[in-house]
Amino acid sequence: MITVLLVRTGAGLYRVACDDYQPIPFEDPHPHWQYASEYVQKNANEGDVVLSTMPICTLYYLGQTDYWLRQNEYYSFEDAEGVLRDRYTGALILKDYPAFRKEIEGKNGWVIGDQKLDSYFTDPDVLSYVYENMTFIPEGSDDTIKVYRFEKKAEQDNNDS
């Protein structure tokens, strides 16, 4: 049992130490997040919001992170209004599909997501909505980070007039 535990721990440590993808910018910030954030910064419009699977990275590189797109295992606190927020960035956590839809309704913005976007961290309904209703931006994406653009619907624009 001890041998199995040591082998599994050693293999896990080796994989973490040798993997090119490190999602959190510690001493050596992650270049993939930088690339995606620079693309969004160059193409963002006034009032755009940013949804991220790693808000610490978008805050670091883009200087903005509005929402944490994650439905479980988050580090959070409730603010004075009872809103669930990320402990490190203050980003509002979109904890389920209804919260996600409510927060993006009538807004323009960006989704910047790493591999957590396609994992169990993201509600399947949220993921379906992203794939079916948002525009994938290959110019801002690479093999580890995906960028999507969303805009409020035209009928909402007409109702706002």
Two structure tokens written together for 45: 């419009």
3-state helix/strand/coil string of 42-75: HHCCCCCEEEECCHHHHHHHHCCCCEECCCCCCC
Phi, psi of 153 (to 5 degrees): -70, 150
Q: Considering the entire predicted model, what is its pTM?
A: 0.75
CA-nearest of 81, 50, 80 to 68 is 50
18 pLDDT higher than 80: no
78 pLDDT higher than 90: no
CA-nearest of 83, 95, 19 to 51 is 95
Q: Tally the residues of the chain.
A: 161
* Averaged pLDDT for residues 37-43: 96
Give the span between the Cα atoms of 80 and 85, in whole angstroms.
11
Instruction: Give the contacts of 79 (CB within 8 A, at least 6 positions apart).
Output: 85
CA-nearest of 89, 132, 83, 130 to 109 is 130
Segment 92-143, tens digit of pLDDT: 989 889 999 999 999 999 999 988 888 888 889 999 999 999 999 999 999 8
